């Protein structure tokens, strides 16, 4: 019997009792949005950025949020106090609700869950390998619950000896399913695809780092032949070096110096690693 709680529509419920009816539009039609942030020593990291994006996603998808921002913060703080998981990930999900006709969104269901998460300090040194795939995510700028294509591609990723997939649209690189992608050119420009991607919070923090030549731009598949470093960014992973793409080594095949510097500065900004 776990003593972990979740929140459903403002009520705290034990995790094993946290259920919704099967006529919810997330189950029927994959319709919902979410956001996900970390806590460190019981403090939410970059909470306001995540709440900004949560409310934006909800508005774009025509899902009204019953709770005010203050009420959401109270629920989040209540959950942190109840669960006693100082280093964690917290997910806020807003679904299409109990639709009468199984298609038109109804009053959304708001779900908040927390799970223990400790930053894996060894992951940086190992880096990751990517395999590319021609796919443009639908509604890319909204953090929807749609991960159908990427979960479907898990066997493809494994077959190609990779850790994750990097989407491109007819050669124009986009993003990984759960992280943004950056290259470091031989001129030390740090470039991340500008268009048709989810604008990650970590991506935003990287774009605002001072003293580095970081920018949004166009990155093509063929640009990968002549770069110094590559890395991905996400709330969960912060920054991870990309050591190979489609089986071809990037740079010298080891985590790059600029990637390491960016990772250090981000960890510093969020108050340290756990």
Per CB under 8 A, residues contacting a second copy are: 6, 8, 16, 18-32, 60-62, 91, 93, 95-96, 102-105, 111, 113, 135, 138-139, 144-149, 151-152, 154-155
Closest CA to 212 of 237, 185, 172: 185
Q: Which of 85, 5, 93 is nearest to 38 (CA)?
A: 85
Q: Rounded to the nearest whole angstrom, what is the least distance from the CB of residue 138 to a second copy in the complex? A: 5
* Minimum CB distance to a second copy smaller for 164 or for 229: 164
Alpha-carbon span 58 to 129, nearest angstrom: 33
Strand 88-95 and strand 110-116: pairing?
Answer: antiparallel
DSSP reduced 3-state for 104: coil
Q: How far is the CB of 59 from a second copy (least distance, A)?
A: 12
CB of 262 to a second copy, least distance (A): 25
In this complex, which beta carbon is closest to a second copy, that of residue 110 or of residue 190? 110
- Mapped to the 3 state alphabet, what secondary structure does 135-173 carry? CCCCCCCCCECCCHHHHHCHHHHHHCCCCEEEEEECCEE
- Please say which residue, 17 or 226, places its beta carbon nearer to a second copy: 17
CA distance 190 to 92: 31
Minimum gap (Å) between residue 258 Cβ and a second copy: 29
Q: Toward a second copy, which CB reaches closer, 30 or 217?
A: 30
As measured in angstroms, the least distance from the Cβ of 30 to a second copy is 3
Residue pair 134/169 in contact by the 8 Å Cβ criterion: yes
Q: Which of 20, 260 has the CB closer to a second copy? A: 20
């Amino acid at each position: 019997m776990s003593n972990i709680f979740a929140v459903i529509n403002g009520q705290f419920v034990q995790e094993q009792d946290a259920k919704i009816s099967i006529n919810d539009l997330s189950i029927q039609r994959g319709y919902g949005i979410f956001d996900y942030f970390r806590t460190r020593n019981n403090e939410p990291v970059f909470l306001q950025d995540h709440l900004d994006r949560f409310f934006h996603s909800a508005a774009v998808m025509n899902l009204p949020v019953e709770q005010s921002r203050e009420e959401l913060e109270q629920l989040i703080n209540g959950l942190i106090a109840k669960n006693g998981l100082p280093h964690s990930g917290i997910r806020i999900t807003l679904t299409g609700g109990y639709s009468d006709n199984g298609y038109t969104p109804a009053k959304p269901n708001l779900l908040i869950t927390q799970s223990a998460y400790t930053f894996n300090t060894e992951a940086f040194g190992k880096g990751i390998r990517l395999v590319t795939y021609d796919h443009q995510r639908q509604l890319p700028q909204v953090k929807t619950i749609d991960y159908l294509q990427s979960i479907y591609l898990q066997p493809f990723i494994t077959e190609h000896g990779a850790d994750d997939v990097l989407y491109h649209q007819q050669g124009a690189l986009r993003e990984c399913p759960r992280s943004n992608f950056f290259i470091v050119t031989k001129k030390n420009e740090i470039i991340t695809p500008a268009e048709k991607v989810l604008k990650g919070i970590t991506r935003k923090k990287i774009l605002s780092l001072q003293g580095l030549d970081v920018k949004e731009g166009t990155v093509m598949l063929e640009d990968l032949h002549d770069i110094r470093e590559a890395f991905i960014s996400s709330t969960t992973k912060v920054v991870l070096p990309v050591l190979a793409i489609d089986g071809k080594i990037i740079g010298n095949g080891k985590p790059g110096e600029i990637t390491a510097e960016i990772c250090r500065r981000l960890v510093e900004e969020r108050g340290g690693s756990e």
